[in-house]
């Protein structure tokens, strides 16, 4: 990985889908994640759509309201297979209306994923999504390894699990392997990191692999000196207070400059992040635009 010394000039991240619309907002919220990431580098600009929410309609409505044309999207990254990150994919491909749109994801994204409580429900990709996406111009790029999207922008690839308090995921999902029901280890969960001159931005979907595991891997791959900001869902809904405390403490130890979180982080965790990090913690909402200089 040659991320060292690479840096983008500017990054603009716009929240197109989050569970919170924002106070006094004209935009539509939904359960899910979708961020538009516009990256300016020397000699070019790329636009990445990170996740596609549960439903494309609120995303397209928000884009129209914000004056963003879907045709500017160059490529799509899917953080994992859950419906609240992949449900809008087909309609968004249709709205982009072009061929050869790379969709970067982990090869296990097509696995069966089910929850058993309160009742059995399929939470993964809808049947035939693979073929339907291809018909609409999508080209799957399935990799367990990190993928370089453009200068200084990478996916993390499959996340190494090394943090002891993140061994068990707060969410119980099952998958089917050789006709047997197995606990889903969320191996398909990947994130994105962007190198600035000083530090990196890390963008997570649900962080089922553990947000601290994700931050450690992003630092390892980028060889960056620090983390400028972490943006995304941390899936601490249902996590114990002890785990939340340890997570927030790890953010402090890693000297994360700013945290922007929403979606599945959960009220308990947001409250503790806000108490411990003060003004360095921000709640994500639809239409929020973040600008970073390289």
In Å, how far are 28, 41, 61, 89, 289 from 122, measured between CA atoms?
Answer: 25, 40, 27, 17, 33
Contacting range for Fe ion; rule: CB under 5 A; set: 34-42, 126-134, 201-209, 286-294 = 201-209
Rg of the chain over all Cα atoms, to the nearest angstrom: 18
**Looking at beta carbons only, is 15 or 264 nearer to Fe ion?**
264
206 binds Fe ion (CB under 5 A): yes
Whole-number Å distance between alpha carbons of 281 and 265: 12
Sites for Fe ion among residues 231-270 (CB under 5 A) = 264
**Looking at beta carbons only, is 72 or 123 nearer to Fe ion?**
123
| Of 168, 288, 157, the residue nearest 236 (C-alpha) | 168
Shortest distance, CB of residue 124 to Fe ion, whole angstroms?
A: 10
189 binds Fe ion (CB under 5 A): no
Contacting range for Fe ion; rule: CB under 5 A; set: 90-98, 202-210, 218-226, 265-273 = 202-210
Contacting range for Fe ion; rule: CB under 5 A; set: 50-58, 143-151, 198-206, 281-289 = 198-206
Token pair, residue 148, equals: 């370089």
**Position among 74, 84, 108, 188 found at the interface with Fe ion (CB under 5 A):** 84
**With 0-12 CB in 10 A as exposed, 13-18 as middle and 19+ as buried, what is 130?**
middle
Whole-number Å distance between alpha carbons of 39 and 102: 16
Shortest distance, CB of residue 24 to Fe ion, whole angstroms?
A: 25
Shortest distance, CB of residue 80 to Fe ion, whole angstroms?
A: 6
**Looking at beta carbons only, is 167 or 220 nearer to Fe ion?**
167
**With 0-12 CB in 10 A as exposed, 13-18 as middle and 19+ as buried, what is 96?**
buried
Sites for Fe ion among residues 111-130 (CB under 5 A) = none
82 binds Fe ion (CB under 5 A): yes
Sites for Fe ion among residues 218-237 (CB under 5 A) = none
Site string for Fe ion, 130-159 (x = CB under 5 A): ------------------------------
Angle made by CA atoms 62, 64, 65, in degrees to the nearest 5: 65
Q: How many residues bind Fe ion (CB under 5 A)?
A: 4
HSE-up of 11 (CA within 13 Å, CB side)? 26
Q: Are strands 75-77 and 101-105 parallel, antiparallel or unpaired?
A: parallel
Contacting range for Fe ion; rule: CB under 5 A; set: 40-48, 60-68, 97-105, 205-213 = 205-213
| 253 contact partners, CB below 8 Å, separation of at least 6 | none
18 binds Fe ion (CB under 5 A): no
Maximum alpha-carbon separation in the chain: 52
Shortest distance, CB of residue 282 to Fe ion, whole angstroms?
A: 19
Interface residues toward Fe ion, by CB under 5 A: 82, 84, 206, 264
């Amino acid at each position: 990985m040659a991320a060292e010394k690479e840096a983008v000039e500017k990054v603009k991240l716009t929240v197109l889908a989050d569970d919170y619309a924002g106070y006094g907002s004209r935009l539509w919220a939904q359960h899910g994640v979708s961020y538009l990431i516009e990256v300016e580098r020397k000699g070019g600009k790329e636009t990445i759509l990170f996740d596609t929410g549960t439903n494309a309609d609120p995303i397209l409505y928000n884009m129209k309201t914000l004056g963003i044309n879907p045709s500017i999207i160059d490529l799509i990254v899917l953080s994992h297979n859950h419906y609240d990150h992949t449900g809008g994919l087909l309609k968004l491909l249709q709205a982009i209306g072009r061929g050869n749109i790379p969709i970067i994801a982990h090869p296990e994204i097509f696995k069966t994923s089910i929850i058993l409580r309160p009742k059995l429900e399929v939470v993964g990709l809808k049947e035939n999504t693979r073929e339907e996406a291809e018909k609409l111009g999508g080209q799957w790029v399935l990799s367990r390894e990190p993928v370089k999207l453009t200068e200084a922008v990478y996916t993390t690839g499959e996340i190494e699990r090394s943090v002891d308090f993140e061994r068990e995921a707060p969410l119980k999902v099952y998958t089917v392997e050789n006709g047997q029901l197995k606990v889903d280890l969320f191996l398909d969960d990947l994130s994105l990191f962007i190198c600035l001159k000083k530090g990196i931005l890390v963008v997570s979907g649900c962080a089922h692999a553990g947000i601290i595991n994700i931050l450690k891997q992003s630092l390892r791959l980028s060889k960056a000196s620090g983390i400028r900001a972490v943006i995304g869902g941390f899936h601490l809904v249902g996590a114990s207070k002890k785990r939340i405390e340890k997570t927030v403490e790890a953010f402090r130890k890693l000297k994360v400059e700013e945290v922007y979180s929403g979606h599945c982080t959960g009220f308990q965790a947001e409250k503790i992040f806000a108490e411990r990090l003060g003004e360095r913690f921000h709640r994500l909402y639809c239409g929020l635009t973040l600008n970073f200089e390289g």
